[in-house]
């Protein structure tokens, strides 16, 4: 069996390797959702550079728990007491980090955002004093500090707020997003196949989180059937992702905002009015707090996002809400209730139920995947359409709905996409979709006068018959194999 490799992240890896090779003090902030591959990137960068390392995942605990974890890390990484001794206070913890850095160590503090907790907050001031000393003599210091975090607002509060002790102290910053689709496709071809339906299924479930694909690989189901993968990853007592969302996403919320998150997951594209009405039905006393819930989930945790029709103003009332993370959306929409019922109903029945719900969600996912592929192809100079702005959807109160609207303002080309998970449904919808396009163009007035308007039909796979029907109707035909080609 082919061994698992390191996929994607070439630019980030080159940047981190350059930082490590400078031969002087560094203080790097690295941010990204949990499981996105922050520690794997560091391991890969350090693999070619012989540097002693101490890694600590900060526990969400009292100071004693953090100090104990750091002492364990010193023992695990076999740090001599002449370099750093186990700390007894948060002040000593900061000084121990300074001693390690001066001894050429790379110190990695994961889940750094926990130092925003009130009982740990003094540590930032102690670390500030250490960072300032090390920064004042960078040529004599060759070690460095990397702080990793998964909650944007709390990392910002520690490192970017003007009143924060560590404000303006970092030397470098890396933001890790999802693996690009080319990398996901690469790992699927290496360890499964190039089936476009598998790409849609797994991207809809995991998006670009490398750890989840590797978990599937290690369970031997990355190339298996949908049912095999769902059962192995979620429904067995040893399933690696059975408690992932509750432990790593919802743990932070401590039970708050559940009704908002679940509703958005199960009703993608819902409006503020939809949310308010739902909360009022479920919990009348909470209905006035919906705006606050949305603000926290959008800005602090970045769990939901508000999308607008193309050309709309930010304050437009037509905004729709979506779960930002595919895995969290899939968990709340299709998996959570079934996994919780595993002791009371047959597993095969629950797996089928989850699979049906995941398939329903893939209709929305196909639009997002196609848009991401268009943007990735344009960014890499591939394909037949050079974007001059982000690809968006369009909708209005009159019922007009367009899945994708792409602009090439330089060449004055407008491309409008119709996405359907089923090629048969795609072909059957063309007359109706043409009417939507006509209403959209009428609503735009003369905005696209003199432009070439292209229509494209997108489905996971298109056979020769479906392609012929699309072309006969005046549409370009594209499936996922077309869109991942040459990436």
Q: What is the mean pLDDT of residues 244-252?
A: 72
Q: What is the DSSP string of 206-274?
A: HTT-HHHHHHHHHHT-TTS-HHHHHIIIIISTT-TTTTHHHHHTGGGGTTTTHHHHHHHHHSTTB-HHH
The whole-angstrom separation of Cα 451 and Cα 440 is: 14
Q: Are residues 107 and 154 in the same domain?
A: yes
Q: Are residues 171 and 51 in the same domain?
A: yes
Contact 385, 408 (CB under 8 A): yes
Q: Are residues 41 and 154 in the same domain?
A: yes
Q: What is the mean pLDDT of residues 35-63?
A: 92
pLDDT at 302 over 80: yes
The DSSP secondary-structure symbol of 300 reads I
SS3 400: coil
Q: Are residues 223 and 358 in the same domain?
A: yes
Cα 41 → chain centroid: 16
pLDDT of residue 381: 94
The whole-angstrom separation of Cα 270 and Cα 191 is: 37
**Which of 140, 175, 210 is the endpoint of a domain?**
175
CATH value at residue 80: 3.40.50.300
pLDDT of residue 251: 67
Residue 416 covered by a domain: yes
Residue 5 covered by a domain: no
CATH value at residue 426: 3.40.1350
Q: Are residues 114 and 51 in the same domain?
A: yes
User: Quick one: tokens of 223?
Assistant: 């190339």
pLDDT of residue 44: 93
What's the pTM value of the predicted model, to 2 decimals? 0.92
Of residues 178, 204, 174, 151, the one with CA closest to residue 36: 178
Residue 292 covered by a domain: yes
Question: Which stretch of 75-89, 124-138, 236-250, 261-275 has the lowest confidence by average pLDDT?
Answer: 236-250
Q: How far is CA 65 from CA 60, 87, 127, 320, in A?
A: 8, 12, 18, 42
**Helix, strand, coil share (%) of the chain residues, nearest 5:** 50, 15, 35
pLDDT, tens only, 118-152:
999 999 999 999 999 999 987 789 999 999 998 87
Q: What is the mean pLDDT of residues 253-264?
A: 80
The whole-angstrom separation of Cα 480 and Cα 478 is: 7
Q: Are residues 121 and 15 in the same domain?
A: yes
pLDDT, tens only, 380-401:
999 899 999 999 999 999 999 9
Q: What is the mean pLDDT of residues 65-91?
A: 97
Residue 375 covered by a domain: no
Q: What is the mean pLDDT of residues 269-291?
A: 82
Which are the contacts of 450, defined by CB distance < 8 A and separation ≥ 6? 412
pLDDT at 73 over 70: yes
pLDDT of residue 250: 65
pLDDT at 288 over 70: no
Question: Which stretch of 99-108, 210-219, 287-296, 362-371 has the lowest confidence by average pLDDT?
Answer: 287-296
pLDDT at 253 over 80: no
Q: How far is CA 167 from CA 1, 106, 127, 131, 281, in A?
A: 48, 21, 12, 11, 44
Residue 394 covered by a domain: yes
Q: What is the DSSP string of 83-99?
A: T-PPPSSHHHHHHHHHH
Q: Are residues 166 and 242 in the same domain?
A: no
**Which of 292, 324, 356 is the endpoint of a domain?**
324
**Which of 175, 199, 225 is the endpoint of a domain?**
175
Element containing residue 403 per DSSP (H, E)? strand 401-408
Q: Are residues 457 and 311 in the same domain?
A: no
Of residues 367, 470, 465, the one with CA closest to residue 427: 470
pLDDT of residue 471: 98
Residue 77 covered by a domain: yes
Q: What is the mean pLDDT of residues 228-246?
A: 93
pLDDT of residue 479: 98
Residue 378 covered by a domain: no
Q: Are residues 267 and 234 in the same domain?
A: no
Q: Are residues 315 and 411 in the same domain?
A: no
Question: What is the average pLDDT value for the chain, to the nearest integer?
Answer: 93
pLDDT of residue 255: 62
Please give the residue range of the domain that contains residue 272. Answer: 250-324
Q: Are residues 215 and 355 in the same domain?
A: yes
pLDDT at 287 over 70: no
Better-predicted residue by pLDDT, 283 or 31: 31
Q: Are residues 197 and 120 in the same domain?
A: no
SS3 162: coil
pLDDT of residue 47: 85
The whole-angstrom separation of Cα 161 and Cα 145 is: 20
pLDDT, tens only, 145-193:
999 998 877 898 899 999 999 999 999 999 999 999 999 999 999 999 9
What percent of the chain stands above pLDDT 90?
81
Residue 372 covered by a domain: no
pLDDT at 410 over 90: yes
CATH value at residue 266: 1.10.10.10
Total of domains in the chain: 4
């Amino acid at each position: 069996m082919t061994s698992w490799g390191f996929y994607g992240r070439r630019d980030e890896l080159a940047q981190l390797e350059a930082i490590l090779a400078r031969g002087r003090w560094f203080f790097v902030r690295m941010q990204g959702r949990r499981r996105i591959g922050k520690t794997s990137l560091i391991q890969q960068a350090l693999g070619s550079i012989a540097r002693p390392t101490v890694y600590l995942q900060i526990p969400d605990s009292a100071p004693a728990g953090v100090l104990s974890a750091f002492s364990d890390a010193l023992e695990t990484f076999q740090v001599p007491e002449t370099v750093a001794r186990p700390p007894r206070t948060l002040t000593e913890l900061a000084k121990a980090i300074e001693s390690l850095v001066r001894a050429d160590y790379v110190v990695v503090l994961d889940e750094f955002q926990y130092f925003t907790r009130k009982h740990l907050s003094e540590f930032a001031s102690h670390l500030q004093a250490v960072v300032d000393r090390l920064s004042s003599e960078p040529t004599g210091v060759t070690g460095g500090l990397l702080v990793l975090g998964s909650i944007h607002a709390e990392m910002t509060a520690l490192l970017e707020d003007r009143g924060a002790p560590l404000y303006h102290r970092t030397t470098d910053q890396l933001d890790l997003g999802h693996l690009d689709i080319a990398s996901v496709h690469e790992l699927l071809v290496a360890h499964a196949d190039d089936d476009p339906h598998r790409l849609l299924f797994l991207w809809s479930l995991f998006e670009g989180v490398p750890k989840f694909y590797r978990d599937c690989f290690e369970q031997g189901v990355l190339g298996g059937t949908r049912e095999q993968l769902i059962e192995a990853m979620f429904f067995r007592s040893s399933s690696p992702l059975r408690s992932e969302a509750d432990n790593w996403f919802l743990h932070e919320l401590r039970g708050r905002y559940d009704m908002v998150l679940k509703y958005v997951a199960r009703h993608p594209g819902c409006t503020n009015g939809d949310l308010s009405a739902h909360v009022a039905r479920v919990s009348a006393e909470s209905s006035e707090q919906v705006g606050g819930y949305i603000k926290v989930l959008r800005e602090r945790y970045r769990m939901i996002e508000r999308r607008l029709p193309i050309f709309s103003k930010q304050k437009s009332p037509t905004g729709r809400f979506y779960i930002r993370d595919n895995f969290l959306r899939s968990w709340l929409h299709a998996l959570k209730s079934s996994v919780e019922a595993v002791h009371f109903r047959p597993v095969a029945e629950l797996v089928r139920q989850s699979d049906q719900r995941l398939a329903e969600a893939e209709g929305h996912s196909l639009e997002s995947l196609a848009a991401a592929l268009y943007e990735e192809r344009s960014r890499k100079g591939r394909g037949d359409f050079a974007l001059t702005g982000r690809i968006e959807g369009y909708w209005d109160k009159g019922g007009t709905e367009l899945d994708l609207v792409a602009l090439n303002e330089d060449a004055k080309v407008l491309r409008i996409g119709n996405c359907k998970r089923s090629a048969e449904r795609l072909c059957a919808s063309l007359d109706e979709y043409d009417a939507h396009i006509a209403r959209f163009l009428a609503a735009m007035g003369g905005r696209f006068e003199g432009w070439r308007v292209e229509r494209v039909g997108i489905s996971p796979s298109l056979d020769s018959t479906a392609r012929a029907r699309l072309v006969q109707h005046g549409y370009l035909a594209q499936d996922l194999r077309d869109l991942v080609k040459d990436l």
